[in-house]
Structure 1
């Protein structure tokens, strides 16, 4: 993966790239955190729904994401630093997800320019991403549906049985890579009660 291209794409969205997180850090794996939008209601701390045909979609998506992220513990207002899932595979190779440490600059646009880069979505106005607080205690997931955009906040995923059960299932799936299986085991062990 070309980290300079990643940093440039993130900069377009108003995110400052710091580094990739060491893969041995016992955080919830990005591809497991990506299931936050499938988490049962009792595990979800907050949700923001926006209709895709809303003429103020970009403004509402950006302000809704910021409110959810700040109030939900993704980052502190005075120190807007967090982790973002990024695909580290080369083009035309299967995706390899890792956490990248980023921070918000003063001018940012997650739902518009960020989504248009492909790093934070599937085109301008179509945000799709997974973010994690530095301590691993808050996930913010954006997903674009047919008629709506959804932002989901899950707090303390290590205490949410849905993620622990899914982690065990994922480690048994034949298409789960060995690095992901190792990351799942590391996270489950580190967060065992």
Structure 2
């Protein structure tokens, strides 16, 4: 991965790249956290749902993301640092998702310019990403549907049965890569109650 190119792309969105997170930390891995939008309703803390044809989509998406992030615990007021899932593989290799540490700068535009970079989405107005609080206690997943955009907030994923069961399944699945399998097993062991 070209970290200088990643930093430049993130800067366009108003995110400062602070380096890759320690891959041995017992955090829920991006490959598992990315299923937050599939989490049953009892595991979801909050959802921001927007229609794609809304003329104020970018403004509403950015303000909705910020509200969920601040109120949901992605980052505290005054210290807007969090983790963002990024593909760490080389362009011609299979995806390897890892956490990058970032901080929110001013000005920022997650849903517009950020999504247009390809790091935070699939074009302006089409956000698609997974973010995690530094302590691992809040996930925000953005997903673009056929006619809508949704931001899902899940608090304390280690207490959500869906993530534990899905993680156990992924760890047993032969198609799960060794990096992801090890990260999932580490998280499941570290958060077992």
TM-score (norm 1): 0.99
Correspondence for 1:86: 86
- Give, in angstroms, the shift of residue 44 of structure 1: 0.2
RMSD: 0.5
Q: Distance in 2 between matches of 1:91 and 1:172?
A: 27
- Give, in angstroms, the shift of residue 172 of structure 1: 1.6
Correspondence for 1:30: 30
Correspondence for 1:66: 66
- Give, in angstroms, the shift of residue 180 of structure 1: 0.7
- Give, in angstroms, the shift of residue 90 of structure 1: 0.8
Correspondence for 1:161: 161
Q: Would you say 1:52 and 2:52 are equivalent positions? A: yes
Correspondence for 1:103: 103
Correspondence for 1:76: 76
- Give, in angstroms, the shift of residue 92 of structure 1: 2.0
- 1:29-85 Cα offsets, whole Å, 9 max, x none, are 001000000000000000000000000000000000000000000001211000000
- Give, in angstroms, the shift of residue 106 of structure 1: 1.2
- Report the count of equivalent residues: 193
Correspondence for 2:150: 150
Structure 2: gaps (5+ residues): none
- 1:129-162 Cα offsets, whole Å, 9 max, x none, are 0000000000000000000000000000000000
Correspondence for 2:192: 192
TM-score (norm 2): 0.99
- 1:75-105 Cα offsets, whole Å, 9 max, x none, are 0121100000000111121100000000000
Q: Distance in 2 between matches of 1:38 and 1:51?
A: 19
SS in 1 for 2:60: helix
Correspondence for 2:115: 115
- Give, in angstroms, the shift of residue 168 of structure 1: 0.5
- Give, in angstroms, the shift of residue 174 of structure 1: 1.8
